[in-house]
Every structure is written in C-alpha cells, then in structure tokens.
Homo-oligomer: A and B are copies of this chain.
C-alpha cells in the first residue's frame, strides 16, 4: 500500500475532487481535469473575474464490494495562473479528461536575435 492509499483508506472515499493540471502554451493556458465517468451533459464551466469554476457529476455504483472511486458531484474553483481574455474558454472532453483552453491576455513572444543585429 502506498502512502496515498493508506491515507485514503483511513479517510474513506470522501468527496470527489478531480485532479487538475495547468499548462502553459505560448498563446493559451490549458486546464486539464481528470473526470473519468463524468456525464458529459453534467459538466459546467463558469468564468468569473480571475477564477474559473468547473462542476459535474458521475453516477454512484451499487452493490459495491470494495470502493475507492468517489462519485456524485464535484465543484472546483481555480484561479488563473496568469491573466486570460474573459470568456475565452474552449472545452473538450476526451478519454475522461476535460481540457479547457483560455486565451492569454499577454501571449508569450519568442524573441529571436537577427544575425544582422
């Protein structure tokens, strides 16, 4: 048993808190959220100021002999790691991963030195 498994066994399954990553693109920020089994129609995205809230749900299984997978609803609010263009979020769901791309307010500009400088 890993530390994580031991802690989760002690704490019970608990609420569903999907793990999230933020990635930096040159022109976009990307939020990746693990939502395996989420009902696509249940997923909601709400941008408010410098935060984005994601919510959704997945059905609870019955006749469980052993349970580790949290289920029911989730709701998480994230603060943008850097400023984005309001209401620019574009979401896709693939293989149980929700990916949302936000347009950066200040795109990263790659500066290339010219040989004649």
Contact = CB atoms under 8 A, between A and B. Distances in A.
A23 B62 contact: yes
A62 B21 CA distance: 10
A38 interface: yes
Given A21-B67, A66-B81, A68-B19, A97 B14 contact: no
Query: How many copies of this protein are present in the complex?
Result: 2
Interface residue range, chain A = 35 or more
A15 interface: yes
Given A2-B14, A2-B17, A35 B32 contact: no
A37 B34 contact: yes
Contacts of A95: 36-38, 95-96
A54 to B, nearest CB: 13
Interface stretch (A4-12, A45-53, A109-117): A4-12
Nearest to A62: B23
